[in-house]
Amino acid sequence: MDGVTIVTHPLVQHKLTLMRDKARSTKGFRQLLNEIGMLLCYEVTRDLPLEQVEIETPLGAMTAPVIAGKKLVFAPILRAGVGFLDGMLSLVPAARVAHIGLYRDPETLTAVEYYFKAPSDLAERLVVVMDPMLATANSAVAAIDRLKEHGARDIRFVCLLAAPEGVRKLRAAHPDVHIWTASVDSHLNDHGYIVPGLGDAGDRMYGTK
């Protein structure tokens, strides 16, 4: 699929299967989301550019690589996107964080914004938008629209599960935004849920069902 990377790492696939299981506890679900966040962070940052700097080791001087440019911005879509954040920050602790509060209207499936707070210099940073679920893609498209209005130009999207409909919609709306996901599932049901999916990620993570 053009513009989509399926993360097939065995640890990611194993943990995703544990999360899909409806018997998984809230605690277990949250912990697995955090762990997968870390593994997906490794994948989404795989090609970051490096620059050479001069350092002194205890044994002498050398030229060694560090990540070039300004610190990344992690942009979780509330609520469920927050489940990825700690895992991502544990690998990139100096990243900035943009919070995007959106919920999906259960009738229309459109995204309703209730909060937005981002660093002011988005134009100079790589922004990684994160949300476990890419279903209709209304939330992802709205979040990326908003980030672009605020200047973001270099954006990547990370999710755990996607529906083919959501992938097509996000790629059509924002062809410059590459998608990383652990799986593209079968389809959306009549209520906009990913099938077979894992249910409502936010409710399962916070125990709010």
Q: Which residues of 104-119 are buried (b: 16+ CB within 10 A; e: fewer)?
A: beeeeeebeeeebebb
Residue 99: which residues within 8 A CB-CB, separation 6 or more? 75, 76, 78, 115, 116, 117, 118
Known catalytic residue: 108?
A: yes
Question: Binding residue for ligand PRP (CB under 6 A) from 19, 40, 80, 92?
Answer: 80
130 makes contact with ligand URA (CB under 6 A): no
Question: Binding residue for ligand URA (CB under 6 A) from 12, 40, 127, 135?
Answer: 135
- Min CB(145)–ligand PRP separation in Å: 13
* Contact present, 129 and 75 (Cβ < 8 Å): yes
- The entry of ligand URA, ligand PRP, none near residue 19 (CB within 5 to 8 angstroms by kind) is none
138 is in an annotated binding site: yes
Cβ-count burial of 64 within 10 angstroms (0-12 exposed, 13-18 middle, 19+ buried)? exposed
Find the part of the chain contacting ligand PRP (CB under 6 A) among 29-37, 65-73, 103-111, 116-124. Answer: 103-111
181 makes contact with ligand PRP (CB under 6 A): no
Pairing of β 96-97 and β 73-78: parallel
Cβ-count burial of 157 within 10 angstroms (0-12 exposed, 13-18 middle, 19+ buried)? buried
* CB closer to ligand PRP, 65 vs 175: 175
Tokens of 181: 């996901």
- The entry of ligand URA, ligand PRP, none near residue 28 (CB within 5 to 8 angstroms by kind) is none
130 makes contact with ligand PRP (CB under 6 A): no
If DSSP codes are grouped into helix, strand and coil, which group holds residue 120? coil
d(CA 108, CA 88): 32
116 makes contact with ligand PRP (CB under 6 A): no
- The entry of ligand PRP, ligand URA, none near residue 109 (CB within 5 to 8 angstroms by kind) is ligand PRP
Contacts with ligand PRP by CB under 6 A lie at 77-80, 103-104, 109, 111, 131-140, 166, 192, 200-202
Applying CB under 6 A, the residues found at the interface with ligand URA are 133, 135, 192-194, 197, 200-202
Q: Which residues are catalytic?
A: 104, 108, 200, 203
